Amino acid sequence: NAGVTQTPKFQVLKTGQSMTLQCAQDMNHEYMSWYRQDPGMGLRLIHYSVGAGITDQGEVPNGYNVSRSTTEDFPLRLLSAAPSQTSVYFCASSYSAGQWDSPLHFGNGTRLTVT
Amino acid sequence: AQSVTQLDSHVSVSEGTPVLLRCNYSSSYSPSLFWYVQHPNKGLQLLLKYTSAATLVKGINGFEAEFKKSETSFHLTKPSAHMSDAAEYFCVVRTMNTGFQKLVFGTGTRLLVSP
């Protein structure tokens, strides 16, 4: 059981380049989300999805796009990378969007550097 | 608004001594509370959760936490630290104020364990 799989593990981009961070889960989870982790700031929610075809903005959505065409996949797109997007990105999923005690399952992260 | 404050950015203990990681929360609603652990270059892993059942919650690897409503606290403890406990720990509050769960992460406490 792979859980939540993120690719790539590391990426270096130049300012203005675009790329997609991939996230896949094999647990048939309803809820998927993207977080960024920056030193001293904890994790901040970028976008989330409560099911295929449904996405919404989190706390820090600017500069990022998402889509959810299948239950399994939730890619995060950077349209024009900026140095402020240098961070570690985590994808997380949970069984239910509305169930109180449904914990998050995290991927191992993608470390992105924008020069 | 919901918030979480982790009172220490770093905690240092010796192997075999007790661990105390402090967390205070603020919530307008009855919260669910979680502790997650992050080992280097890994995603976050659930340690334990409180969802309004027993106020003393036992988690994995010998950790436990006590929910104290009067003190708005959810401190994480372990009687005897092990070298493998060295990691970063996040306190998380979940509230349901819009029909959908909202997670708020603390800024993390790095636990250092010396031999």
Of the CA atoms within 13 Å of residue B52, those in its CB half-sphere come to 8
Residue B43: the pLDDT is: 87
Confidence of residue A19 (pLDDT cuts 50, 70, 90): very high
Q: Say whether B43 and A98 touch across the interface (CB within 8 A).
A: no
Interatomic CA distance for residues B25 and B70, integer angstroms: 11
User: Is the separation of the CB atoms in A66 and A49 below 8 Å?
Assistant: yes
Give the model confidence (pLDDT) of A22-44 as tens digits: 999 999 999 999 999 998 888 99
Residue A92: the pLDDT is: 93
Confidence of residue A101 (pLDDT cuts 50, 70, 90): low
Query: What sign has the CA pseudo-torsion B72, B74, B79, B81?
Result: negative
Instruction: Return the DSSP state at A96.
Output: -
Residue B98: the pLDDT is: 52
Confidence of residue A98 (pLDDT cuts 50, 70, 90): low
Residue of B5, B9, B29, B44 to mutate for A, most A C-beta atoms under 10 A? B44
Interatomic CA distance for residues A53 and A70, integer angstroms: 8
Residue B103: the pLDDT is: 80
Confidence of residue B100 (pLDDT cuts 50, 70, 90): low
Q: Say whether A104 and B106 touch across the interface (CB within 8 A).
A: no
Tokens found for residue A47: 């976008």
Among chain A residues, the shortest Cα distance to B95 is held by: A100
User: Is the separation of the CB atoms in B71 and B64 below 8 Å?
Assistant: no
CB-CB neighbors (< 8 A) of A41 in chain B:
107
Interatomic CA distance for residues B67 and B50, integer angstroms: 7
Out of A6-10, A98-102, B1-5, B92-96, least confident range: A98-102
Give the model confidence (pLDDT) of B35-77 as tens digits: 999 998 888 999 999 887 788 999 999 999 999 999 999 999 9
- Cα separation values, B17 from A49, B50, B66, B67, Å: 42, 25, 19, 22
Residue B101: the pLDDT is: 61
C-beta atoms surrounding B7 within 10 Å: 15
**Arithmetic mean of pLDDT over chain A:** 92
Interface of B with A (CB under 8 A): 9, 32, 34, 36, 41-46, 49, 51, 90, 94, 96, 99-101, 103, 105-108
